[in-house]
Amino acid sequence: MRRFPLFASLVALLCAAFFLVPLAATVNFSLRMRRGEISLDAYASVFRDDTFLSVLGFSALASLAAIALGALLVVPTAYWVRLRLPGLRPLTEFLSLMPLIIPPVVLVFGYVRIYGTASVLPLTMSEAGTNLLLVIGYTVLSLPYMYRAVDNGMAAIDIATLTEAAESLGASRLRTIATVIFPNVRSAIMSGAFLTFSISLGEFVITSLLNRPAFGPYLVQMGQDYAYQPAALAIMAFAFTWACMALMDFFATRKPGQGLLPFLRRKSP
């Protein structure tokens, strides 16, 4: 008979407790706004604030834009390096890790310096340009995770054979990437998208220094002014992030032509 993995189970329980105990404590604290009672007053107070939904929507849109931009940059790059330039893989891996070395505050000050008032391209002088810089900043911060996920996905498929098969059928290189490579690394892209969304939603340094109405600075400001509402905001951000991840995973695993409505019709009696 196989022995029960006691040590592995203990390590798993300790890791789970490391994440779940602070989460449970935060949930408990967020329900204690009314002295001596459990209530949802903190959550109701957050929803009564008109700023909450606007900053949450802004952060979600910026995060999704960063996911799209990251996928458009990383997938063709990883594909071309693996297919034609394997000798450059160490260099691309090193460059993809640079955002882990350079602090975000240095990155955003570089953006302001390059794209400020004295620049040829003064992006910080307009709201749309500043939003673009924010999305680029989110993309750069998530680049190590997106590139690693996509590169591992590329390693799991034979991109050379797929490319030769597509080209033998008359597909151009761009069409090969769009219709053959992207679908085959879709799960890897989604893994990178999950991490990108989590990082972007709560990012504070770049967002605050660019003065954007996003969720990170709003959460910090609420923490300075209130006690229970920030705990409620943290729990709602956690739930919102996981809900968005579940939706992205659902639509990523659906076959072409299978949207949400056919799924609901099939599930309904």
Residue-wise pLDDT for 189-226, tens only, equals 888 888 888 888 888 999 999 999 998 899 888 888 88
More confident residue, 258 or 5: 5
CA proximity to 41, closest of 49, 31, 28: 31
Helices 41-48 and 228-253, packing angle to 10 deg: 70
Cβ-count burial of 225 within 10 angstroms (0-12 exposed, 13-18 middle, 19+ buried)? exposed
> pLDDT tens digits for 33-66?
888 888 899 999 888 888 888 998 899 899 999 9
> pLDDT tens digits for 83-101?
888 889 899 999 999 998 8
Domain 53-253 belongs to what architecture? Orthogonal Bundle (1.10)
Cβ atoms within 10 Å, residue 7: 8
CA angle 211, 212, 217 (to 5 degrees): 85
- Report DSSP state, residue 125: G
CB of 179 closer than 8 Å to CB of 45: no
- Measured on CA atoms in the order 126, 128, 134, 139, is the torsion positive or negative? negative
Instruction: Report the C-alpha gap between 140 and 104 in whole angstroms.
Output: 10
- Token readout for 86 is 């394997």
Question: What pTM does this model have?
Answer: 0.82
The structure tokens 């706004």 sit at 33
CB of 138 closer than 8 Å to CB of 62: yes
What is the predicted pLDDT for the residue at 195?
Answer: 84
